[in-house]
Amino acid sequence: MLKSELEEKISKIFKFENETSQKIVDTLINYMSSAISNNDRIEIRGFGSFFKKEYRAYTGRNPKTGDQVDVPEKVLPLFRPSKELLSKLNDSKND
Amino acid sequence: MTKKDLANFLHKRMGLNLKESVRIVDKFFEIIVESLAKGDDVKLPKFGSLKIQTRKPRLGRNPSTGERIEISKRKAIVFKPSKILRAKLNNSKSDQDE
Residue of A nearest to B8 (CA): A28
Q: pLDDT tens across B50-77, in order?
A: 999 999 999 999 999 989 998 889 999 9
Residue B71 forms part of a structural domain: no
Domain assignment present for B78: no
Neighbours of A78 (CB within 10 A): 12
B66 in a structural domain: no
pLDDT per position as a tens digit, B6-50: 999 999 999 999 999 999 999 999 999 999 999 999 999 999 999
pLDDT band at B92 (very low <50, low <70, confident <90, very high): low
Mean pLDDT of chain A: 93
Residue B14 located in a structural domain: yes
Whether B19 is in a domain gets the answer: yes
pLDDT at residue A91 in the model: 80
Residue B97's pLDDT is: 43
Going by their DSSP bridges, the two strands A58-61 and A68-71 should be labelled as antiparallel
Contact A74/A55 with Cβ under 8 angstroms?
A: yes
Residue B9 within any structural domain of the chain: yes
The three-state secondary structure class of B68 is strand
Do residues A29 and B46 lie in contact, with contact meaning Cβ atoms separated by under 8 Å? Answer: yes
Residues of A with Cβ-Cβ distance to B90 under 8 angstroms: 74-75
Residue B74 counted as domain residue: no
Domain assignment present for residue B11? The answer is yes
CA nearest neighbour of A52 among A73, A24, A27: A73
Q: The domain containing residue B20 runs over which residues?
A: 1-40
CA angle (A22 as vertex; A17, A26 as ends), nearest 5: 155
Residue A92: predicted pLDDT: 57
Structural domain count of chain B: 1
Residues 23-82 of B with CB under 8 A from A: 23-25, 27-29, 31-33, 35-48, 50, 52, 73-79, 81
